[in-house]
Structure 1
Amino acid sequence: MAASSTDASPALKEIFDRARLQHFADETAAIWPRFDRERFLSLATDGLDDLGIMQRMRRTAEAFAQTLPADYAEALAVLRDLAPRIRHGFASITLCEFVAIRGRDAFERSMEALHFFTRFGSAEFAIRHFLRDDFERTLAVMKGWARDENEHVRRLASEGSRPRLPWSFQLKNLIADPSPTVSILDALKADDSLYVRKSVANHLNDIAKDNPDYLLDRLSGWDRDDARTEWIVRHALRTLIKKGEPRALALIGTTGEADVAVDHFTVAPAVIRLGERITLSARIVSTANERQKLVADYAIHYVKKSGATSRKVFKLKTFDLAAGGTMELAISQQIRDFTTRTHNAGLHKVEFMLNGQVLADGGFELKANAQP
């Protein structure tokens, strides 16, 4: 039986609620008086309650596509004026989606539009349609964007070409061969913007899931004296580090298999309800004769509706442990529903890991919340 939360945060899909859509309509009509606000709202709100966030974003773009001027250039001019009036990054993504709907046959004009709109709301989803239609031509434009003066444009070069971008379709050709984006990632590997560096690390982590040896070979050749590049490497390797991949651990300076004894590992309380917190605590003792660099993680085996479990690994701490030294570790986590994860009642196993190896385990029981 699935547990339910009584204090869940508003759903992400409410970014595109009726008030937002009314705001779109009012502002667009102020820019272009011939805009049919009623038709736009009718199209954009059709079946709204049953749509998820990406469906609502797409539906809004489709409503614009049917109500803005038939001439693509004129329609873009209206949306260029609308962009600074929206003042919400995710809501502005619908402008980019409009380009993907109406502009696939006007490549150069559409590239210029995405270059502009991504400053207000990322064009990472829209650009993928162009990559799928004409990969080489689109990627050539994105390579130029990697050296743009604007951080949002530079990030788009990396984020839009990720092989496995969440909430979008996969780029199968880049999953099979990630090498075409090398020049983009090389250009951004020491970017001043943390916003850009996070995207580069996520792009590289995508590559790690399908081509780990390729990734490790590339990162091994990077000059990591620059702290910005070192930061990217550490975050790019997170999936491989969680798996205990020896080359990945070596790249971040760990000493291989942890030479320690786990004095205790606890998960408390033993029984909780949705919305409550668990606390993990561990005490480890070095059994080595020299200092060790260790990466501590923990994994929760979430119970599915079927009764099976799905394992997710979380970062805990990276630290040095002196010969014969001890380390106390603790972390608290609230167990609550997200848009991307809902919880089910049952026994949830929890594992404690060092350098990718499971050294101890425990668990907690999630009880179903009482029905109102």
Structure 2
Amino acid sequence: MAESFKNMFDKPFFGRFVNDLSLVLQNMSVDKFVTLVMDEEWENRGYKQRIAHITTVLHKFMPTEYKEAVAKIFKLLDCVKVRLLDFSKIDDKNFNLLTLEYGVILDHYVERYGIEDYETSVKAIERITQFTTCEFVTHAFIVKYQDEMMKQMLAWSKHPHWGVRRLASEGCRPRLPWAMSLPKLKENPAPIIPIMENLKNDPSRFVRLSVANNLNDISKDNPQIVIALAKKWKGQSENIDWVIKHGCRTLLKQGNHEILNLFGLSLNDNISIGDFKILTKRIKMGDSVEFCFNLNNYNTEKRTIRLEYGIYYRKMNGEMTRKVYKISEKEYKGNSITEVNRKHSFRPITTRTFYPGIHQIAVIFNGCESGKCEFELVE
């Protein structure tokens, strides 16, 4: 993913970026900017390294005084706003269209050159996030100014612009991917809770999604806090029920009985897995393992059943580690036997390294794992 992201910074991108900058900066030149950016080390830089380098080059063209540089950024946003979609409107289908393509550079500029000017930077973040996402920036400021920033995030949770409200949640996620770690909030997420209380029923789906993801982050370090919130919020509205269900997805995959029971997914002696078998006992890297089983519901009434499977991946040291994948969650008729077939790909991905050898699969229903079956992965 990072590889594809870093390739967005090409000459046409810089042409558009510099043309916009020239609206507020007199000394801009596309050729000069591109020459400085695409130096001899350019191809060797990763995504984050490229962002940092572009920001360094941008700084050469910006006013030396940080407050003046932020004023130029504000003028730039005013200039480009007239040709962009109305970012103040809630658009739950086209989030990517509401993102300024070079917003990440403006974000990083504030983080890099404004970390010592809290007041100016907070104003900049609030403005910029109405055009793009700023959650990586807020993490840096939370680390340095946690009390002040969390008060600000709480205020932002009531902001009229949905992008600012989303930042109030997304910007304090304890386990946000690619972002600076927030160890104090991992240990004690109490400052986050009032923010989520304000946003759990937000009119914007993107804001509610952020709340759900924040809940999921918290559940990995403080499951009881999330369980208590889920019980408190359950049934308040359809939107809130979706938020807590999505926010409890890790707890559901872990088979947490309190959460399973909360969503009507309790264990039942009359539900079982039968005729579980792996159809491809030996597969090569890049192929898929195929398996099938029967889901038996011997209850006289229909039952809601959450079906998952766990892959026990072999690690480099030979030990196994399980990852759970959802198949479905739906109602099954009483006195029914349902055949389920599934494939799982072992094509190369950037987020996991596959090691040859024996692997295992287990089927899981309502958090209960059935017996395991083995297959072999070969190079």
**Which TM-score band (shorter chain)?**
0.7 to 0.9
Query: Is contact 2:140-2:180 (8 Å) kept?
Result: no
Task: State the partner residue of 2:28.
Answer: 35
Task: State the partner residue of 1:191.
Answer: 202
Query: After superposition, what is the alpha-carbon deviation per residue over 1:9-32, rounded to whole angstroms, capped at 9, x for unaligned?
Result: 963322234543454334423542
Taking the aligned partners of 2:47 and 2:301, their CA distance within structure 1 comes to 52
Query: Is contact 2:3-2:46 (8 Å) kept?
Result: no
Taking the aligned partners of 1:268 and 1:25, their CA distance within structure 2 comes to 57
Candidates 100, 114, 135, aligned match of 2:125: 114
Query: How is 1:118-129 mapped onto 2 (pairs within 5 angstroms)?
Result: 118-129=129-140
CA distance 1:275–1:197, change in 2 (3 Å): farther
Taking the aligned partners of 2:359 and 2:340, their CA distance within structure 1 comes to 20
CA distance 1:342–1:48, change in 2 (3 Å): farther
Query: Is contact 1:347-1:364 (8 Å) kept?
Result: yes
How far off its partner does 1:304 sit?
Answer: 4.3
Query: Is contact 2:135-2:171 (8 Å) kept?
Result: yes
Candidates 337, 340, 346, aligned match of 1:326: 337
Which has the larger displacement, 250-259 or 272-281?
272-281
Taking the aligned partners of 1:262 and 1:137, their CA distance within structure 2 comes to 53
Query: Is contact 1:21-1:44 (8 Å) kept?
Result: no
Query: How is 1:198-213 mapped onto 2 (pairs within 5 angstroms)?
Result: 198-213=209-224
Gaps of 5+ in 2: 85-96
Query: After superposition, what is the alpha-carbon deviation per residue over 1:70-103, rounded to whole angstroms, capped at 9, x for unaligned?
Result: 1223323443455548975564222111111111
- Secondary structure of 1:244's match? coil
Amino acid across the alignment from 1:119: Q
Candidates 285, 292, 310, aligned match of 1:281: 292
CA distance 1:39–1:145, change in 2 (3 Å): same
Query: How is 1:211-222 mapped onto 2 (pairs within 5 angstroms)?
Result: 211-222=222-233
Amino acid across the alignment from 1:150: H
- Secondary structure of 1:192's match? coil
How far off its partner does 1:191 sit?
Answer: 1.6
Is residue 141 from structure 1 mapped to residue 135 from structure 2 by the alignment? no
Taking the aligned partners of 1:156 and 1:267, their CA distance within structure 2 comes to 45
How far off its partner does 1:216 sit?
Answer: 0.9
- Secondary structure of 1:11's match? helix
How far off its partner does 1:51 sit?
Answer: 2.8
Taking the aligned partners of 2:148 and 2:2, their CA distance within structure 1 comes to 42
Taking the aligned partners of 2:102 and 2:348, their CA distance within structure 1 comes to 23
CA RMSD of aligned residues (A): 2.9
Query: Is contact 1:27-1:82 (8 Å) kept?
Result: yes
CA distance 1:94–1:271, change in 2 (3 Å): farther
- Secondary structure of 1:112's match? helix
How far off its partner does 1:156 sit?
Answer: 0.7
Query: Is contact 1:352-1:360 (8 Å) kept?
Result: yes
Task: State the partner residue of 2:13.
Answer: 20
Is residue 52 from structure 1 mapped to residue 85 from structure 2 by the alignment? no
Which has the larger displacement, 241-250 or 25-34?
25-34
- Secondary structure of 2:125's match? helix
- Secondary structure of 1:337's match? coil
Task: State the partner residue of 2:107.
Answer: 96
Query: Is contact 1:242-1:355 (8 Å) kept?
Result: no
- Secondary structure of 2:54's match? helix
Taking the aligned partners of 1:316 and 1:92, their CA distance within structure 2 comes to 37
Which has the larger displacement, 265-274 or 126-135?
265-274
Query: How is 1:268-347 mapped onto 2 (pairs within 5 angstroms)?
Result: 268-288=279-299, 291-305=302-316, 307-347=318-358
CA distance 1:351–1:42, change in 2 (3 Å): farther
How far off its partner does 1:210 sit?
Answer: 0.8
Identity between Structure 1 and Structure 2 (%): 29
Is residue 163 from structure 1 mapped to residue 171 from structure 2 by the alignment? no
Report how many residues are paired: 361
CA distance 1:194–1:346, change in 2 (3 Å): farther
Taking the aligned partners of 1:205 and 1:110, their CA distance within structure 2 comes to 29
Taking the aligned partners of 2:167 and 2:266, their CA distance within structure 1 comes to 36
Task: State the partner residue of 1:351.
Answer: 362
The structure showing larger relative contact order (alpha-carbon pairs under 8 Å, at least 6 residues apart) is 1
- Secondary structure of 1:16's match? coil
Query: Is contact 2:52-2:108 (8 Å) kept?
Result: yes
Candidates 189, 197, 201, aligned match of 1:178: 189
Amino acid across the alignment from 1:16: F
TM-score after normalising by structure 2 = 0.84
Taking the aligned partners of 2:344 and 2:74, their CA distance within structure 1 comes to 43
TM-score after normalising by structure 1 = 0.85
Taking the aligned partners of 2:289 and 2:19, their CA distance within structure 1 comes to 47
- Secondary structure of 2:8's match? helix
Which has the larger displacement, 261-270 or 347-356?
261-270
Query: Is contact 1:296-1:354 (8 Å) kept?
Result: yes
Task: State the partner residue of 1:362.
Answer: 373
- Secondary structure of 1:349's match? strand
Task: State the partner residue of 2:63.
Answer: 69
How far off its partner does 1:130 sit?
Answer: 1.1
Taking the aligned partners of 1:36 and 1:74, their CA distance within structure 2 comes to 20
Query: After superposition, what is the alpha-carbon deviation per residue over 1:170-219, rounded to whole angstroms, capped at 9, x for unaligned?
Result: 21111111111111100111122221111111100111111111211122
Taking the aligned partners of 1:126 and 1:173, their CA distance within structure 2 comes to 17
Which has the larger displacement, 148-157 or 271-280?
271-280
Which has the larger displacement, 60-69 or 145-154?
60-69
